[in-house]
């Protein structure tokens, strides 16, 4: 809805079979979606599709990989899946700009559905052996389809805030399909186990082939590596109204 100001630098024209999906990885509670996105990129050796330069993303943070500087928001793909991932926390003031960008990409690449993965912080997370997974959709058609697939129970009543909320609302406004997979998670500890649970559901929904074995094996290392991003993200989460009721 608002005026967007970013520049897209295309590195490669991706070739994906249909139906295609756009997986969105943004730092949020437990970094559940971001860890999932980064894992998909590494594990399936995705190709770099585009770099995004967001004018208002201040202060500027540059990611360095193998001595090479890169803007921290990038697009990747393999098989039938595009992955949009941010290696930096999205300030709340930029969340609607990012939602615009993500929805534009969904249209540009003619994807069947946007897929978001977000954590629902639960106080008893440590005691949970099996993490509850629930879905939300942007429209009734996708809700029916998801219900038929028996992937997970639906998120019944409540609210969604955070960086995935404007994407969900903007998808609905534009008539795009957006499947939001919510997983019980820690609030401000990186939660790779929650990411794994979400990937299982996403994999079933999209047919994208990936094993979460390595994600679970490397959980400890990921938690350590991603601590800085969790700190930055915490500043945006704290004091925010999370989902208040579900299932």
Q: Can you give the length of the chain in residues?
A: 247
The 35-74 site mask, x for binding its own copies (CB under 8 A), equals: ------------------x-x--xxxxxxxxxxxxxxx--
Task: Tally Cβ neighbours within 10 Å of residue 235.
Answer: 11
DSSP states of 70-95: E-SEEEEEETTEEEEEESS---GGGH
C-alpha 154/C-alpha 247 separation (Å) is: 7
The least CB distance from residue 180 to its own copies, in Å, is: 8
On the CB side of 136, how many CA atoms lie within 13 Å of its CA?
A: 26
C-alpha 152/C-alpha 170 separation (Å) is: 24
Q: Which is closer to its own copies, CB of 17 or CB of 66? A: 66
Q: Which is closer to its own copies, CB of 9 or CB of 216? A: 9
Q: Which helix (H) or strand (E) holds 32?
A: helix 32-43
Q: Which of 47, 143, 187, 189 binds its own copies (CB under 8 A)?
A: 143
Q: Are strands 73-78 and 81-86 parallel, antiparallel or unpaired?
A: antiparallel
Buried b or exposed e, range 53-79, using 16+ CB within 10 angstroms: ebeebeeeeeeeeeeeeebbbbbbbbb
Range 150-169, binding its own copies (CB under 8 A):
154-162, 165-166, 168-169
The least CB distance from residue 34 to its own copies, in Å, is: 14
Angle, CA 167 vertex, CA 192 and CA 6 arms, to 5°: 100
The least CB distance from residue 13 to its own copies, in Å, is: 19
Range 164-193, binding its own copies (CB under 8 A):
165-166, 168-169, 172-173, 178, 180
The least CB distance from residue 227 to its own copies, in Å, is: 8
Binding residues with its own copies: total (CB under 8 A): 66
The least CB distance from residue 220 to its own copies, in Å, is: 16
The least CB distance from residue 47 to its own copies, in Å, is: 15
9 binds its own copies (CB under 8 A): yes
Q: Which is closer to its own copies, CB of 42 or CB of 209? A: 42
**Taking a C-beta distance cutoff of 8 angstroms, is the pair 94, 16 a contact?**
no
Tokens of 197: 């649970």
146 binds its own copies (CB under 8 A): yes
C-alpha 52/C-alpha 217 separation (Å) is: 31
Give me the residues that bind its own copies (CB under 8 A), please: 1-2, 5, 7, 9, 53, 55, 58-72, 87-88, 92-93, 95-96, 99, 134-140, 143, 146-147, 154-162, 165-166, 168-169, 172-173, 178, 180, 225, 228, 231-232, 240-241, 243-246
């Amino acid at each position: 809805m608002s005026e967007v100001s970013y520049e897209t630098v295309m590195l490669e024209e991706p070739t994906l079979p249909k139906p295609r999906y756009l997986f969105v990885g943004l730092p949020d509670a437990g970094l559940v979606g971001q860890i999932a996105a980064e894992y998909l990129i590494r594990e399936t050796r995705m190709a770099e599709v585009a770099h995004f330069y967001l004018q208002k993303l201040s202060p500027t943070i540059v990611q360095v990989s193998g001595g090479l500087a890169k803007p921290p928001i990038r697009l990747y793909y393999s098989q039938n899946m595009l992955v949009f991932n941010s290696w930096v926390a999205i300030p709340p003031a930029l969340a609607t700009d990012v939602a615009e960008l993500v929805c534009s990409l969904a249209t540009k690449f003619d994807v069947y559905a946007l897929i978001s993965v977000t954590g629902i912080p639960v106080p008893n997370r440590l005691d949970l052996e099996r993490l509850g997974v629930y879905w939300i959709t942007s429209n009734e058609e996708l809700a029916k389809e998801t219900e038929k697939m028996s992937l997970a129970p639906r998120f019944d009543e409540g609210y969604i805030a955070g960086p995935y909320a404007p994407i969900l609302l903007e998808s609905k406004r534009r008539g795009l399909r957006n499947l939001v997979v919510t997983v019980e998670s820690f609030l401000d500890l990186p939660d790779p186990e929650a990411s794994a649970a979400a990937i299982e559901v996403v994999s079933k929904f999209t047919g994208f082939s990936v094993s979460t074995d390595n994600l679970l094996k490397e959980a400890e290392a990921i938690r350590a590596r991603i601590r800085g991003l969790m700190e930055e993200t915490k500043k945006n989460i704290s004091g925010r109204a999370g989902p208040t009721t579900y299932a």
